[in-house]
Amino acid sequence: MNHFAYHDRDLCCESVPLRALADAVGTPAYVYSRAALLDAFTAYDRAFGDVPHLICYAVKANANLGVLGTLARAGAGADIVSGGELYRALRAGIPPRKIIFSGVGKTRDEMRDALKTEVLMFNVESAGELRALDEVAREMGVRAPVALRVNPDVDPETHPYISTGLRTAKFGVPIADALDVYAEAARLGGIEVVGVQMHIGSQLVKVTPVADGLVRLASLVGRLRERRVRVGMVDVGGGLGIRYRDEAPPTQTEYARTLLPVLRELGVTVLVEPGRSIVGNAGLLLTRVLYRKETVDKKFVIVDAAMNDLIRPALYNAYHAIEPVDRARLAGPRETVDIVGPICESGDFLAKDREMARVEEGDLLAVMSAGAYAFAMASNYNTRPRAAEVLVEGNRYTIVRRRETYEDLVAGETAL
């Protein structure tokens, strides 16, 4: 996280001290670096520069309009999985012809909206979805551009909750069935076959599983072309991991270098759907210590951020580095603590048995690598307003999502 570093006394995001941000916008708050977002996106764009390509940011990782707008202006497309994400992508200025509609459970209303918008492509995940899309498209008098999401049955070697490439997963068409489903697609009047897609999982720290899946995909493309099925686009999905602790994922250049020989030979436009690897290390969660509590067995640091703000530790047992904002704390004593929030759940923790610098009530902490699947998965559990989101550029910042109010929490409800 090169854009988050200590300057003099304080941990900063680019040139903005986090202490000053906390004073201005309160805590908890999500803080994103514009430079980090652009560096990660540009690294992908350059890595695949030898072939026609489109980098479609996976909106599910972080759907804030400030994030999306920053990437849109840099030339990014979008990988979406819902009608709401379609709305956000368009609102942020991403052109429809740069939008891919993925997802295992698209509704007919979502299909209609995407067809009206004229998105680049639907990634279809089942024969049933294909038939529904055909019916909707014919009702509208159009043809839906389609790639099948093919499940190549490779082990992504990641957490089972975010593994999508094995034949036991709910995602995609089994590769053994793909030719038959493509044959059906080619016969349907409302469908235009334009490509093939795979996505094997998230937080991948090795390229080998993706490369294995791509070889299987390339073989399928060859067989489709023998049957005169046009395949002009190959979507390799996303999922490249980031460093949370001691992981050593491939760089964007290493990732592309492994895949490009096969992709060049296919002579296709390459689509890539990165999410976490663009935004994950571009953000942190800023929180303040409320209390210290010690029992016979444990030391607790109670902070004002909670599992409703960041559920990944409770959901995945995910690790996030946690750093004091005050640099002086690093030179002081260390201790082993649980860092917990105010929510009435034993699962409400940001770290367990964490060895770190001792902090005191009122101190600020930065929960690192929290740009992806963090605010995006936030909730109002315990009727807690969701945190503010802030985008930093150099020595300036913009509140790109204000903190919710209590009135926001009951808007749309009726007291009887």
C-alpha triplet 257, 263, 264: angle, nearest 5°: 90
Residue 100, H or E segment? strand 99-101
Q: What count of other Cβ atoms lies within 10 Å of the Cβ of residue 309?
A: 28
The CA distances from residue 115 to 83, 120, 182, in Å, are 11, 9, 20
Backbone angles phi, psi at 343, to 5 degrees: -75, 145
Rg value, the chain, Cα: 23
For residues 160-177, b (16+ Cβ closer than 10 Å) or e, as one string?
A: eebbbbbeebebbbebee
Q: Which tokens in the block code for residue 148?
A: 């099948």
* Cβ atoms of 400 and 389 closer than 8 Å: yes
Strands 334-340 and 77-80: unpaired
Number of H helices, E strands in the chain: 12, 21
Q: Which two structure tokens, joined as six digits, stand for 406?
A: 């209590």
Question: What are the catalytic residues?
Answer: 344
Provide the token pair at 63.
């759907």
